[in-house]
Amino acid sequence: MKSLIFISLFALASLSSANIINVPAQYSTIQSAINASVNGDTILVQPGTYTENINFRGKNIVVTGTYYLSGNLSLIQTTIINGGSPVNPDTASCVIISSHEDSTAVLQGFTLTGGMGTKWTDEHGAGLFREGGGILIQYSKPVIQYNIITGNSAVAGGVISTGGGGVRIGDSYPRFHNNIVTNNTGFYGAGVVLNYTGGEYYNNLIFKNYGSNVFGSGSGIWLNGSFTRPVTITNNTIVSNTSINGTPGVYGFGSVVATMRNNIIWGNTSPNNAQITGGNFTVRYCNVQNGYNGAGNINANPDFDTTNYYLRSTSPCVDKGDSSVIYNDPADPGNPSNAKWPARGTLRNDLGAYGGPGSATIANSIVGIGSQNLMTLPDNFILNQNYPNPFNPTTKISYELNKSSEVSLKVFDILGNEVSVLFNGTQTAGSYSVNWNAADFPSGVYFYKLETQTGSEIKSMMLVK
């Protein structure tokens, strides 16, 4: 598996001029290692929490966790870049790749969390936005693989709007594959924003991103504009994303063009529960809830397993992808006529993130598919959905701390303005709850943000009077 997954890394490491720079043994921070690197170097990061916001600064390097050495999936979950304490609050993405890096620039093997996005002047004249809580990519062609992008946001005010809570990619051509994008929020494209960009997006699990309410929403994936190279979205599972308004699944702004093949797009919810709308999309061999016109498309409950959005052997998505051999699942070495786990059935493509030639297990500690939280990260916390929701005029917000920490719990309005501080101080490990009385506030959508020393999380709530 490693020989297939990490071709880019080993190709770079074979160059005689390449160096391996160890973090924290040689440099205490990832950014200081990047600053000391040259093209072709590898930044090898040991497990731990790195509270910083990194920028590739135009260097064609590999920045990687140690997962590739052993294939141990838990190392992805314990090698954490926490972007929640930026030096400049207007540059608060966990990772920025925006200086014409090419396809030898690689980011892999990390959990990216706590990022709050970067103020970014749109290159196409739309104005000032805050985008890319977890990752912001511009004018570049990097490989982004085997990362967990969770608990990031793009909601702060002072801009026209905010998008790409998990990932924002513009005017680029990345290969974005085998990533988990979950529990991120933004006013549009809570999970992924693709703005005037091409790229190959395959074998990603995009789920439970939430809170989008403008520009058509697109809490799973939001696309806009044309690019000289195509957008291909293949073998992804895009499920259980939620929007306050508009389309919760995949939304195309204007006449944006993209090809979607072998995906599962299901269970995304909003007032209209639309799975795919807008754009000029070619959709083939996808399982789309409520149906979508296109060859090979189906409309059937995916029959997910109880964890990780794997398919059960009885799933109608098994062996239902494009039958061309170029889309085949990997063969099981012990039974070459059958697919290798996590794919199912024969070699014909399985729909969703675990089918096709890029099929691989991404993480080993995702909770059941009905749970709100992806995982419990080391030294982290759990922020629960407020109750009741919608509410009038009082609601309870509860959370749990795994260790003593400085804690801030604040409420923001739909424009990102802070309207209430519910708690600000130190708390020991335990369970807590706070009541918010919104009798003096108008009806509408509000956001509450819990911030600790190990990260932050934002959820939305609705006041109805």
pLDDT in tens, 365-395: 654 444 444 444 444 678 888 888 778 999 9
Fold assignment, 381-463: Immunoglobulin-like (2.60.40)
Q: How confident is the model at residue 125 (pLDDT cuts 50, 70, 90)?
A: confident
Q: Which helix (H) or strand (E) holds 12?
A: helix 7-13
Alpha carbons 448 and 47: distance in angstroms, whole number: 30
Alpha carbons 365 and 93: distance in angstroms, whole number: 25
Cα 95–158–55 angle (5° rounding)?
A: 15
Least confident of 25-29, 123-127, 324-328: 123-127
| pLDDT given for residue 415 in this prediction | 60
Alpha carbons 265 and 238: distance in angstroms, whole number: 5
Mean of per-residue pLDDT scores for the chain: 89
**pTM summary value:** 0.81
Region label for 136, one of left (φ > 0), alpha (ψ between -120 and 50) or beta (otherwise): beta
Q: Which helix (H) or strand (E) holds 5?
A: helix 2-5
| pLDDT given for residue 47 in this prediction | 95
Alpha carbons 49 and 80: distance in angstroms, whole number: 5
Collapse the DSSP code of 32 into the 3-class scheme (helix H, G, I; strand E, B; otherwise coil) and give the result. helix
Domain boundaries, the chain: 2-273, 381-463
Contact between residue 217 and residue 246 where contact means Cβ atoms under 8 Å apart:
yes
| pLDDT given for residue 239 in this prediction | 95
- Burial class for 427, CB neighbours closer than 10 Å (0-12, 13-18, 19+): middle
Q: Kindly tell me if the per-residue pLDDT of 363 is higher than 90.
A: no
Q: Which residue has the tokens 């501080």?
A: 421
Radius of gyration in angstroms for the set of CA atoms belonging to the chain, rounded to a whole number: 21
| pLDDT given for residue 464 in this prediction | 77
Domains 2-273 and 381-463 share a fold: no
**CA torsion angle 236 240 241 244 (round to 10):** 150
Fold assignment, 2-273: Pectate Lyase C-like (2.160.20)
- Burial class for 21, CB neighbours closer than 10 Å (0-12, 13-18, 19+): buried
User: Is the bond preceding 378 in cis, omega lying within 30 degrees of 0?
Assistant: no
Q: Which range, 92-106, 223-237, 391-405, has the best average confidence (pLDDT)? A: 92-106
Average pLDDT value for residue range 260-266: 98
